[in-house]
Amino acid sequence: MKIVVIGGTGLIGSKLVAKLREQGHEAVPASPKTGVNTITGEGLAEALAGASVVVDVANAPSWEDDAVLEFFKTSTRNLLAAEAAAGVGHHVALSIVGTDRLPENGYFRAKVAQEKLIEASSIPFSIVHATQFFEFVKGIADSAADGDTVRMAPVLFQPIAGDEVAQTLDRVAVGSPLNGRLEIAGPERLRMDEFFRNALAALGDPRKVVTDPHARYFGSELDERSLVPDDGAVLGEIKYADWLGRAGSGR
């Protein structure tokens, strides 16, 4: 089966391409690096020719509110139109748990817009909502840092390993379209401040994590369940400490 992975040279995309190829599928990584641009349309029709499934894990080059919204709307419209022309039978998209809970967050608003376009399309679809990736833990801490202090809200937090995100996308891509959403998260649910206190210590990061109920997550104040899935989510098996041991603390 030919499966095109939009954003296939990135963190999750490259993992997914490898998993699909291991199963014998023709997995095509599509990104500007491989000559495929979903904003301009360059190389899109050629990449999608003969494809049965398209998996979109692309990320915006800018997280500025207007820019990220324009990216996801333009990219998704172009991609869905090209898929319809190519006869693609299944569109899979990676999104984020809680997109509809943080309307003041520009990135989350952009993902909601993307999902609405997918749902309104004639192409059968599956949307996978994932929690935050272990690979982004340091970046999240950096975004909340003020000098040697990292402010984190004591809300629920349940991150997941990138490998398990790719594994789920692999299963969804080769299965029947859900025409709905699937939530995935890591096996451990902790308080965000507690998680980052332990995570930074494990990374050898000397910054102090301060509990602040009003600490913002990329500009948004969080509620208790803003970032965790509802009941019925698919849970991974890899715990952060085990992932860190495999990856090495320098990752």
- Main-chain dihedrals φ then ψ at residue 184, nearest 5 degrees: -135, 150
Domain extent for 9: 2-247
Q: Tell me, what CATH number does 15's domain have?
A: 3.40.50.720
Tokens at 91, concatenated: 């569109």
Determine the distance from the C-alpha atom of residue 106 to the mean position of all C-alpha atoms in its chain, rounded to a whole number: 15
User: What percent of the chain stands above pLDDT 70?
Assistant: 98
Residue 103's pLDDT band (boundaries 50, 70, 90)? confident
pTM attached to this predicted model: 0.94
Q: Are strands 90-96 and 53-56 parallel, antiparallel or unpaired?
A: parallel
Q: Measured between alpha carbons, how far is residue 148 from residues 19, 169, 250 in Å? A: 40, 37, 19
Residues 144-164 have pLDDT tens digits of 999 999 999 999 999 999 999
Please give the average per-residue pLDDT across 78-102, as a whole number: 96
Using the predicted structure, report yes or no on whether residue 249 has a pLDDT greater than 60. Answer: no
Say what the pLDDT of residue 248 is.
63
Higher-confidence residue of 39 and 248: namely 39
Q: Which helix (H) or strand (E) holds 79?
A: helix 65-86
User: Per the structure, how many domains does the chain have?
Assistant: 1
Residue in this structure with the two tokens 């990219």, named with its chain if needed = 75
Residues 179-199 have pLDDT tens digits of 999 999 999 999 999 999 999
